[in-house]
Amino acid sequence: MRVVGCVDECSRSNVVIVRPAGSSSERTWIGGVLDDDVVQALCGWISVGATAPRPPDIAARVFHRAAQAPVSSDASPIAVELRVGR
């Protein structure tokens, strides 16, 4: 896990980006991670490898970016990027 800087998705705060281990491009973007129930669902999904199907609380918050801007690590930390692997 690493905390990264601005990902240009302020309207979807808090943003978590899940990336499978070994993948340089595959990411699942999840917005609105604001309450304990969502955090628990996210942790449970990640603990089993972050594979489909996503729990309803997570699936409802997944979004797809039109353009994949690079994730900056030098701005204010507002997102968490998680690499998932076994």
In this prediction, residue 84 has a pLDDT band, given cuts at 50, 70 and 90, of low
Number of independent structural domains in the chain: 1
State the chain's maximal CA–CA distance in angstroms: 33
Show the domain range for 29: 2-84
Q: Can you say whether residue 23 is alpha, beta or left, with left for phi > 0 and alpha for psi between -120 and 50 degrees?
A: beta
Q: Can you say whether residue 22 is alpha, beta or left, with left for phi > 0 and alpha for psi between -120 and 50 degrees?
A: left
As a whole-number percent, the residues of the chain with pLDDT over 90 amount to 33
User: For residue 81, what pLDDT is reported?
Assistant: 60
pTM: 0.73
